[in-house]
Structure 1
Amino acid sequence: MREFLKEVQRIVVKIGTSSLIYPNGNINLAGIDQLAFVLTDLRNQGKEVVLVSSGAVGVGMNKLHIGQRPAEIPKQQAIAAVGQAELMNIYNQRFSTYSQQTAQVLLTRDIVEYPESRKNVINTLEELLFMEVIPIINENDTVAVDELDHLTKFGDNDQLSAIVAQILKADLLIMLSDIDGFYSENPAVNPQAERYTRITEIDENLMAQAGGSGSSFGTGGMHSKLKAAKRILANEQAMILANGRKPSIIFDLLAGKEYGTLFAPEQLEED
């Protein structure tokens, strides 16, 4: 059992593009509405909630009626600029339905590399949480190319969510994707693949089992999620990877139900 999850207070939720955009490129409004309901209810319970949201490029492609993700970085940045505004408009509308105030926070790599910027970001996020606001965080795609199709050693919202959880000393990172957890093989290829229910250490063997990139609308893949989990484990924190098709699964995860894959160090004893 995952009894300790019932006691978590500060939660970072990362939602992937595949949970926000249908395979046909249209926006999953029902999923976004359910996400807003769930996170607002957690806030009403007294929990502190931060949302790290992908989807700017995917929403921008939908808004501009672009069917295929362009390869050119400037085009991706322009699409992200359009999409980020539209995505926040949708979030604001849905969260307002439940009387929950949100705030947009766009970040770049300097939150890690420059101590002063890191301190400023932490101060801003802490103050928003104190004000009972839900920060909605994304990479600033219009000025940062790390998470776009650019050959760098680091960058995407999986990593960003792990960094946010780290600097805020969150009790839990919930990463919602288009898969039910981490498997020994690709379950779409091998139906007999085994889902790991708990992982306490990430080694080369596990990394080798991870696949490539994610959907055509996003950038993350299983390898990226394992890198994020490795960061979380190194900081002695916990992370759950689960299917975000129905964001209400968050309630079940926090109730201790064994959905998805829990990444947690051994010292986090389970009652």
Structure 2
Amino acid sequence: MNNKPTVRAEIPRARRIVVKVGSSSVSGANVGQISALVDALVSAHAAGSEVILVSSGAIATGIPFLKLDSRPTDLATQQAAAAVGQNVLIYRYQESFDRYGVVAAQILLTAGDMENPTHHSNAQRALERLLGLKILPIVNENDTVATHEIRFGDNDRLAALVSVLVRADVLVLLSDIDALYTKPPSDPGAERISFVPFSNDLSDVTFGDIGAAGVGTGGAGTKVAAAKHAAAAGIPVLLAETGSVAAALAGEEIGTWFEADTLPL
């Protein structure tokens, strides 16, 4: 049976959902959003959907523990921040999931893992088994061993690749903005885009930089590229604000909906 939504309202019926959240949404002043995010994920999980969370935030979470004032620019310190931050981030997630008796699993991947057939197959098998055991996988880039040249781009691309890997029915990309706009939302004349047909290459859209928090590495451009990658594989994508995740998973008319290719390769 085809469970892929063709419109937002069908998201609650999706068999398998991948949700991606960025660094700025779960670290620093926004760390409190983890509870609301978990509430929404557990609600979908309890309703029968298999849910995978792709979460950035290891480096951003680790920064204050290293007594740093801003995101480090050198690779070694980024890796150190990630090593500390990933531990704290997963603890915060599991502590929140404990309210519902849901067990989370940690899966750390690199771009090389997704390109290596053996690693790719192992990751797929592990994710399938976890979902079969009713465990909620939390996927992140393995920042401790990743290099500048092969980064995913704040996990937007990783989320798209994971969606394809597990044959998800829908991908929800959460952001610090409520939708895609024709230009950066703060620019005069910016208009919200509600629906993106698969055939639209968005060549008339002007993309801005990373979010205002400055702790992530992805912007609107990386999210659109990720959405297009998933859509080309037949997976529809919803881009929405992190604070609206419950509404997104409930199928409300929010965010930007990227139509999937109906005849994927």
| Alignment TM-score, normalising by the size of structure 2 | 0.90
Corresponding residue for residue 40 of structure 1: 42
Please state whether the residue corresponding to 2:63 is helix, strand or coil: helix
Residues 160 and 226, structure 2, Cα contact 8 Å, conserved in 1: yes
Residue type matched to 2:196 in 1? I
Q: What's the secondary structure of 2:184's corresponding residue?
A: coil
Residues 1:261 and 2:261 aligned together = no
Using the alignment, how far apart are the partners of 1:156 and 1:251 within structure 2? 22
1:16 aligned onto 2:22 = yes
Percentage of matched positions with identical amino acids: 41
Give distance in 2, aligned partners of 1:109 and 1:13. 19
| Counterpart for residue 232 of structure 1 | 230
Root mean square deviation of aligned Cα? 1.9
Deviation per residue, 1:44-65 (Å, 9 max, x gap)? 1111000000110110012223
**Aligned-pair distance for 1:116?**
1.2
Q: Does 1:251 align with 2:246?
A: yes
Query: What residue number does 1:205 align with?
Result: 203
CA apart distance, 1:35: 1.2
Distance 1:185 1:3 in 2: 27
Structure 2 unaligned residues grouped into runs of 5+: 1-6
State the shift of 1:193 in Å.
1.3
Aligned partner of residue 167 in structure 2, secondary structure: coil
Q: 2:185 aligns with which of 178, 184, 187?
A: 187
State the TM-score, normalizing by the size of structure 1: 0.88
Choose from 40, 43, 60 the match for 2:62: 60
Equivalent pairs counted in the alignment come to: 255
4+ residue runs over 3 A deviation: 151-156
In structure 1, C-alpha distance between the alignment counterparts of 2:166 and 2:156, rounded to whole Å: 16
Whether the 8 Å CA contact 1:200–1:233 is kept in 2: the answer is no
Report 1:74-85 matches (<5 A): 74-85=76-87
Matches within 5 A, 1:115-130: 115-130=117-132
Query: In 2, Cα distance between the equivalents of 1:253 and 1:94?
Result: 20
Distance 1:254 1:34, change over 3 A: closer
**Equivalent position SS for 2:144:** coil
